[in-house]
């Protein structure tokens, strides 16, 4: 009997293995998208009920609460990843339909000096404070770039260039995310306390908050005008990831005395959604978009933002942040305070507050 069972098992194994090989399939992104949309709708409703907090902040908070209490199954992961990246980019493009190209250019030039100063402050403070805390060079670079430019996107862009260990990348992203959440919750309240204008707060949020998603959330929580202004400032700041990556590639090549930029692709790191944002803004300025559609497009953009932020919250594991340890968090805190403070100081000196 045992021999027969063995023969039967071996005889059926190829067919079983064949079925097993054919069966694994990545879950449909529709599951995660549907979850983000449903929670996002609820966040929008709460945002209308409590506009001082706003739908974007509710989206992040609801997402984090669900992810770290009830939990989110693997079947939702592809859709949440798609929503947190692609839909966020689409929302920025949709915002372009509500802003004239002249307004975009004017705001970009107005914010350029503040942006350049905060970037220099971010790298200098990351180097000095990181050396004092004894943090490895690559982790210092990741946190500095993430704080200076655009958070997780900038970290992802420079990772193939400097080639850090996986745990260093996780530390950096966790640290940046922590201060993104703090900024979304604290900046609007601080802006009201400082009695900042919409443009002043937009400039501060756009130059001192890391991720695009957090800038958008904080900006629109303050006011629609501040959100529009902060978005343009942040997009101007995000384009600087290209020269930063080029400088890092040259630096790595020099340090290693070999082709340190192997695998480096300018086409891959270029934030193409910014180009399409400008195209949308140019279409708005040309008059090709009927004025009757402007309000609907802006509402669509705001909803897409809430969905994307909800997906980010649903993907955020607070336990991973706890594992990262205290020193990277202290570095991130120090660099973040230096950048936020320098942004306010430059605005004050220029009389732009």
In this structure, are residues 56 and 305 in contact, taking their beta carbons and an 8 Å threshold? yes
Q: Which residues contact 198 (CB under 8 A, 6 or more apart)?
A: 222, 223, 225, 226, 229
pTM, two decimal places? 0.64
Question: Residue 258 pLDDT > 60, yes or no?
Answer: no
CA atoms within 13 A on the CB side of 148: 27
Question: Residue 20 pLDDT > 60, yes or no?
Answer: no
Name the CATH architecture for the domain at 28-350.
Up-down Bundle (1.20)
Question: Residue 112 pLDDT > 90, yes or no?
Answer: no
d(C-alpha 94, C-alpha 101), whole Å:
14
d(C-alpha 198, C-alpha 193), whole Å:
13
Among 337, 47, 81, CA closest to 217: 47
Residue 37 confidence class, pLDDT cut points 50, 70, 90: very high
Question: Residue 15 pLDDT > 70, yes or no?
Answer: no
All structural domains of the chain with their residue ranges: 28-350
In this structure, are residues 226 and 219 in contact, taking their beta carbons and an 8 Å threshold? yes
Q: Which residues contact 323 (CB under 8 A, 6 or more apart)?
A: 174
d(C-alpha 241, C-alpha 258), whole Å:
23
pLDDT for 187 equals 93
For residues 124 and 281, which has the higher predicted lDDT (pLDDT)? 124
- CA 278, chain centre distance (Å): 19
Taken as a whole, the chain contains a residue count of: 353
Residue 327 confidence class, pLDDT cut points 50, 70, 90: confident
In this structure, are residues 306 and 109 in contact, taking their beta carbons and an 8 Å threshold? no
Among 121-135, 158-172, 229-243, 266-280, top mean pLDDT goes to: 121-135
Buried b (16+ CB within 10 A) or exposed e, 237-254: bbbbbeebbeebbeebbe
Instruction: Give residue for tokens 């059926």.
Output: 12
- pLDDT tens sequence across 132-144: 988 888 888 999 9
* H helix count then E strand count, the chain: 18, 0
């Amino acid at each position: 009997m045992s021999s027969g069972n063995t023969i039967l098992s071996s005889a059926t194994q190829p067919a079983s293995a064949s079925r097993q090989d054919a069966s694994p399939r990545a879950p449909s992104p529709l599951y995660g998208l549907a979850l983000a949309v449903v929670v996002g709708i609820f966040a929008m409703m709460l945002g209308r009920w409590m506009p001082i907090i706003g739908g974007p902040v509710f989206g992040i908070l609801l997402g984090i609460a669900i992810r770290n209490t009830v939990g989110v199954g693997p079947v939702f992961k592809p859709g949440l990843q798609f929503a947190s990246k692609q839909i966020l980019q689409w929302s920025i493009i949709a915002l372009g339909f509500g802003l004239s190209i002249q307004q975009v250019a004017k705001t970009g030039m107005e914010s350029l000096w503040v942006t350049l100063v905060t970037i220099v402050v971010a790298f200098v403070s990351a180097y000095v404070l990181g050396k004092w805390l004894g943090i490895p060079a690559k982790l210092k670079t990741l946190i500095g770039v993430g704080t200076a430019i655009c958070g997780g996107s900038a970290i992802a862009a420079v990772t193939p260039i400097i080639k850090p260990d996986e745990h260093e990348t996780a530390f950096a992203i966790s640290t940046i995310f922590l201060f993104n959440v703090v900024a979304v919750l604290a900046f609007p309240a601080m802006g009201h306390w400082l009695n900042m204008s919409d443009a002043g707060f937009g400039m501060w949020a756009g130059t001192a908050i890391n991720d695009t998603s957090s800038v958008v959330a904080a900006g629109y929580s303050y006011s629609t005008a501040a959100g529009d202004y902060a978005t343009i400032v942040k997009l101007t700041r995000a384009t600087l990831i290209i020269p930063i990556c080029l400088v890092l590639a040259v630096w790595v090549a020099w340090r290693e005395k070999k082709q340190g930029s192997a695998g480096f692709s300018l086409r891959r790191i270029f934030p193409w959604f910014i180009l399409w944002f400008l195209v949308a803004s140019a279409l708005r300025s040309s008059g090709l978009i009927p004025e009757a559609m402007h309000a609907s497009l802006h509402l669509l953009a705001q909803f897409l933002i809430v969905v994307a932020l909800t997906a980010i919250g649903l993907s955020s594991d607070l336990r991973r942040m706890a594992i990262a340890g205290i020193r990277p968090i202290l570095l991130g805190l120090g660099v973040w305070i230096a950048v936020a403070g320098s942004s306010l100081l430059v605005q004050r000196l220029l009389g732009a507050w």
